[in-house]
Amino acid sequence: MTRMWTHLRRLWKDERGNATVEFVIMFPVVFAMFLASFESGYMVLRSAMLERSLDMTVRDLRLGNLKNPTVEYLQQRLCSRTDMFEDCERSLTIELTRVNTNFNNLPAMNAVCQRRTPEIQAGIQSNTVNTGQENELMVVRACLVVDAMFPSAFMGVNIATSDADGTYALLATSAFVNEPN
């Protein structure tokens, strides 16, 4: 029995392998934080590219460069301005809202985002986009559903994940006033 106690005491005092134990405990935490920071940085980059594409498309609308645009044409214009998004046209939802002078019909805070379905919500019934009349304020919102790079990461973007399949929604909003002729 004393021999066993002597052996256990020797194992207890042995400090070989301490660094390995610390590494095994800390590596998953540090690596998860790295993945979460990389994912959130990439999400910010995607969001900035969507904002830029929407602003450029809205500029064409505001200047009247697009004559009788359709929802599909607006999608094509917006998606052609960035090549960061896979299957952009199928994952994009565009919503145009005319705001009256009382500002009592502003769009709701939670945007309607289609989950990669062919139906596109444009705020109107027809396929042709109504860009409003002179001196009317128009609010344009785009919602793009993108895949997370690391959907199994437990921190970071998973807070913003909107679906269980590892996708999240990027929202971009722009507004313009139709100039008088």
Q: Over 90: is that where the pLDDT of 56 sits? A: yes
pLDDT for res 153: 60
Domain of residue 165: give its range.
Answer: 2-177
Answer with the residue of higher pLDDT: 114 or 40.
40
Q: Do residues 88 and 144 touch, judged by C-beta distance below 8 A?
A: yes
pTM (two decimals): 0.73
pLDDT for res 152: 66
95 exposure class (CB count in 10 Å sphere: 0-12, 13-18, 19+): buried
CA 143, CA 76: separation in Å to the nearest integer? 14
- Count of alpha carbons within 13 angstroms of residue 144, beta-carbon side: 25
pLDDT for res 27: 93
CA 170, CA 75: separation in Å to the nearest integer? 15
- Domains contained in the chain, number: 1
The model's pLDDT over 84-112, given as tens digits with 9 standing for 90+, comes to: 888 888 888 888 877 776 666 666 666 56
Q: How confident is the model at residue 50 (pLDDT cuts 50, 70, 90)?
A: very high
Q: pLDDT averaged over the chain?
A: 76
The model's pLDDT over 3-13, given as tens digits with 9 standing for 90+, comes to: 888 888 887 88
